[in-house]
Amino acid sequence: MDPLTLLAAANAAVAAVKKGCQLYKDIKNASGEVSDVLKDLRAQFDKVTGGNPTVEQKQKFNAEVQRVQEIAKADPNDVYTEIGNQLGALMDSYDALSKALLAEQMESKKVYKGEESIGRRALRRIIITTRLDAMLAEIRETMVFRSPPELGSLWGKFSEMWETIVAEQEAAHAEELKLIQMARWRRRKKIAELKAKATWISATVFVILWGVLLMWLTTRSATMRTSLGHY
């Protein structure tokens, strides 16, 4: 999967986390019985519309009533779990993007034969890394500053684990890059050794054949001289 597709998946996970945070906040903010909340909502609606609402105002009111009813049915624990799942999906996308960028980094050390310019490939890397940083900042602000405290706590634990995993991945990628470069160096050395051995073998065979040819020519010459001596 190409990096831009993976970035789209990460964007979707971020959007899901933000939606879950808003739903969790709405659930926590909904106090009292649903009937009381709806009664207050109706009173505010009548006060604003003066008992003569427009079609658009009715539609907005009905939509808000439906939203409150859905919130009342939601379990905050389920929403909390779903937020965690979406953060996990974001981590999956982040890890896949890291591997994709590493693959591009390795490809950049080879002779590139594609149609994209080096500048475009560099720009894609910058866009992806910049967008990832922005997404993390966006989620942090949503969970820490715009949500109930427990979501801020979840972000703190998640962020700590995230940083640990990122550090581990960076170390692993550096080690992997080192091993790949070492394997390539060994492969080039092996090929050079095989070429040198092939050259040596070819030279040895040539010398042997040349020696055999000289011996044959010498023997043939001696034979011819002996034959001529009989005449």
- Do 155 and 20 meet the contact criterion of CB atoms below 8 Å apart? no
So what's the pLDDT on residue 107? 66
pTM comes to 0.56
- Do 143 and 151 meet the contact criterion of CB atoms below 8 Å apart? yes
Q: What is the mean pLDDT of each run of 10 residues along the chain (231 residues)?
A: 81 88 79 66 79 84 77 77 87 81 68 68 80 85 86 85 78 78 83 86 86 81 66 53
Query: How do residues 121-145 score in pLDDT, each as one tens digit?
Result: 778 778 878 888 888 888 888 888 8
Helix 76-107 to helix 3-29 angle (10° resolution) is 160
